[in-house]
Structure 1
């Protein structure tokens, strides 16, 4: 029952229980520092169980790495994360943070397979940014008013956030042209911008 990697990268075989536990911890640590996801959770974009939905996203990623056969492709992980976030939070993160997080997970997974936990150690020792979510509350507070007249202002603030630099991981809130939730509270989310052009 030895798992074969199906011609993927330098995979030393199935992941050990220790490496799987470490990868699970890494996912939780990264999620705690992921501004976009924390905004979605804190502002309950996915409803009252937004925290549980974030935990489910983490479980899905861990399952993908530990219970499916490789090779593990960046685009597959990114697509899965986009789908889950769209499904769970009715949101589309346009700040490229999903790609950054996916790349980080692929690197940490490779390291875990080699019993190298240095990246996880760095995560443990790095402080969790405290003010990103409180700042986002003010931004999203404007969004809760749902007044059509503020649409133009919202767009300019989002552009300003994106230009603030990579350290602040700017986030675009759920961003249909006019966010109009249906009777169940769901908001239509536009498709990603040509994210699958690479083959």
Structure 2
């Protein structure tokens, strides 16, 4: 798809109401973008990470408010550069083109006075907890495997103690050859002492 308002025509600018709805749509899309939410939650951009994420909304609005033609690759570059420079996050999961495409489609719909995609995003539960959910899944998997390993090792230890023969404790060993031909040597600490 060619996401540009180009072709020699003057690009349309969103009306006041459409611009407000589009701004809300931008916020909804970004709230569901896992890479951005991870950067904010983990403060990869410093303590001001939340403010920087809010500034990204303003930068995207400014991008769409320009009087020039709009191209998706320029929007992708804006997202990548902002994430890297402001939030110290290099996004390598392929989500930047997806987010850019969703924003371009949403903008085109708002120009036509259609707000269905934004309404759908409003109805869906916000994914701001996507980061904690992904951490929970990882932690749950770790717990399951370690529980299984713990129960297996516990049962192995119990079996081992039942099957293991234990030599009786020898008291007062004398230095000299053992019946097997080995010589027992007392350690330095016990050489001068005798046990009674």
Q: Which TM-score band (shorter chain)? A: 0.5 to 0.7
CA distance in 2, matches of 1:132, 1:98: 17
Q: Would the alpha carbon gap of residues 81 and 133 (structure 1) be closer, same or farther in structure 2, given more than 3 Å must change?
A: same
Equivalent residue runs for 1:30-109 within 5 Å: 30-66=29-65, 68-109=66-107
TM-score (norm 1): 0.62
**Gap regions ≥5 residues in structure 2:** 138-196
| 1:44 Cα deviation after fit | 0.3
C-alpha root-mean-square deviation of aligned residues, in Å? Answer: 2.6
Q: Could you list the runs of 4 or more consecutive aligned residues of structure 1 that deviate by over 3 angstroms after TM superposition?
A: 5-12, 135-139
TM-score (norm 2): 0.63
- Do the aligned partners of 2:39 and 2:45 also contact (CA within 8 Å) in 1? yes
Equivalent residue runs for 1:78-157 within 5 Å: 78-129=76-127, 131-136=129-134
**Gap regions ≥5 residues in structure 1:** 140-199
| 1:69 Cα deviation after fit | 1.7
Partner of 2:153: none
Q: Would the alpha carbon gap of residues 60 and 8 (structure 1) be closer, same or farther in structure 2, given more than 3 Å must change?
A: farther
CA distance in 2, matches of 1:44, 1:90: 9
CA distance in 2, matches of 1:35, 1:9: 37
- Greater CA radius of gyration, 1 or 2? 2
CA distance in 2, matches of 1:100, 1:115: 22
Q: Would the alpha carbon gap of residues 8 and 64 (structure 1) be closer, same or farther in structure 2, given more than 3 Å must change?
A: farther
CA distance in 2, matches of 1:110, 1:6: 9
